[in-house]
């Protein structure tokens, strides 16, 4: 599969060995719809025999090498996102699911400010982290008992 070759190439370019766990962690980040916490990546690789410490080390390696961005979206949890896909996570709003905790990147124009006089200048400059919370489509149950 060409994406897999591409991942090897991306690792090689930044001087990282294309180990099996590293390729797996990079694949999870590539396929994610938003930034992922360490625990999310561990859960995604559940069954692949890659332990938590290895996942953490590889996330750190990918970040140090510039293949991933790390950001704290305001809840003091580091989340990781591949740098090739989007601009840094500080630059756009995020939807966070109250039920499962999934974070989805939203286009910048999803949230527009209309700052009143006297509001912090950061609002006008867009220099604020925006987080919208609610329940994601997967967790929403239109009818029936809660489980």
Query: Could you list the residues that contact Zn ion (CB under 5 A)?
Result: 89, 97, 99-100, 105, 136, 139
Q: Which is nearer to Zn ion, 100 or 108 (CB)?
A: 100
Give 107 or 116: the residue with its C-beta nearer to Zn ion: 107
Q: Where are the beta strands (DSSP E) in 8-82?
A: 36-37, 68-72, 78-82
Give the separation between CA 105 and CA 39, rounded to whole angstroms: 18
Closest distance of CB 116 from Zn ion, Å: 27
What is the smallest separation between the CB atom of 31 and Zn ion, expressed in angstroms? 15
Quick check: helix, strand or coil at residue 76?
A: coil
| Nearer residue to Zn ion within complex by CB, 8 or 83 | 83
Neighbour tally for 107: CB within 10 Å:
9
Are 49 and 79 in contact by the 8 Å Cβ rule? The answer is no
| Nearest-approach distance from CB 66 to Zn ion, in angstroms | 17
């Amino acid at each position: 599969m060409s994406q897999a070759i591409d991942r090897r190439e991306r690792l090689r370019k930044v001087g990282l060995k294309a180990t099996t766990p590293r390729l797996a962690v990079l694949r999870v980040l590539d396929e994610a719809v938003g930034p992922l916490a360490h625990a999310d990546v561990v859960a995604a690789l559940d069954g692949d025999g890659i332990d938590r410490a290895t996942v953490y080390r590889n996330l750190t390696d990918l970040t140090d090498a510039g293949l991933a961005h790390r950001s704290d979206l305001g809840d003091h949890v580091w989340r990781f996102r591949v740098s090739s896909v989007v601009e840094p996570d500080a630059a756009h709003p995020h939807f966070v699911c109250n039920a499962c905790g999934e974070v989805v990147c939203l286009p910048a124009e999803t949230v527009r400010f209309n700052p009143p006089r006297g509001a912090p200048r950061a609002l006008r400059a867009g220099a604020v982290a925006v987080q919208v919370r609610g329940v994601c489509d997967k967790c929403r149950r239109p009818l029936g008992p809660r489980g």
